[in-house]
Amino acid sequence: HILNKYHTNKTFCDKVKTQSSIHILNKYHTNKTFRDKVKTQSNIHILNKYHTNKAFRDEYKERMKIQVSKKYKSNKSIRLKTVERTLNWYRNNNTHKCAVKYRNLYMCNLNRFRQIIREGPDYVCISCRLTLFRNQVMPFVEEKYIKQNMSNETKKHIQSYFDYSWSTEQKWICKLCSDKIKKRQMSSRTIVNKLKVSEVPFELKKLNNLEKHL
């Protein structure tokens, strides 16, 4: 009889719903066990809905974003805690430390590379006449190769390895020629060795100094 009345009489139905809501609300506020149970069920329901309903998930994210933003702007203590938490993460995060470390290493290597390539192969060896980069040559100092205690014949022999006709004020010698001549040996690529290569093809004659080294 009551069930039929509930389904057929709207006034009675609304009254029952109101009484039921009041009863549940009173029970929620007075019974801790019941309250905890309702909270758990509600959390599970929201969690399931969050994972299964994309529209609800997007709406929830947007709502939480607005809520957090309002709290951050209006509540100084929350703002300070957020800043402190961010700073702690920044100090303790190894990924960040590695990124800074490797960025500094990268910049150091890049600067060193730029320093090396700042000049092209513009240094001509006094012995082999090859045009080389700065790190491949050293300043030519005749006294390093021709000693006072050498015989005149040896001095002339070593002097023959050097081409003094090059007009630049600063003279350079490549490391290969330097090492060989210090041992009183003729460098394999020195001019006086009279080694020759075939004529340079016409297509390659137009290359600049840098392109010739590639």
Q: Grade residue 32 by pLDDT with cuts at 50, 70 and 90.
A: very high
Asked whether residue 80 is assigned to any structural domain, the reply reads no
Q: What pLDDT is stored for residue 193 in this prediction?
A: 82
**C-alpha count within 13 angstroms, C-beta hemisphere, residue 113:** 6
Judge if pTM exceeds 0.85: no
Separation of alpha carbons 80 and 71, rounded Å: 12
Structural domain contains residue 92: no
Q: How many separate domains does the chain show? A: 2
Q: Does the residue 99 lie in any domain? A: no
**Among 65-74, 153-162, 195-204, where is mean pLDDT lowest?**
195-204
Q: Is residue 173 part of a domain?
A: yes
Whether residue 200 sits in one domain with residue 135: yes
The per-residue pLDDT for range 76-90, each reduced to its tens digit, is 888 888 888 888 877
Instruction: Give residue 69's domain range.
Output: 2-75
Q: Are 127 and 181 in contact (CB under 8 A)?
A: yes
Looking at residue 54, its pLDDT comes to 92
What are the pLDDT digits (tens) for 110-154? 888 888 777 778 888 988 888 888 889 999 988 889 888 888 888
Instruction: State how far the alpha carbon of 39 is from the alpha carbons of 20, 22, 51, 183, in Å.
Output: 18, 17, 18, 91
In a domain, 157, yes or no: yes
Residues 167 and 116: their CA atoms lie apart, in Å, by 25
Cα 90 from chain centroid (whole Å): 18
- Indicate whether 95 belongs to any domain: no
User: Residue 166: pLDDT band by 50, 70, 90 thresholds?
Assistant: low
Please say which residue of 58, 75, 92 terminates a domain.
75
Q: Which tens digits make up the pLDDT trace of 47-79?
A: 999 899 999 999 989 999 998 888 888 888 888
Domain presence at residue 89: no
Residue 208 shares a structural domain with residue 132: yes
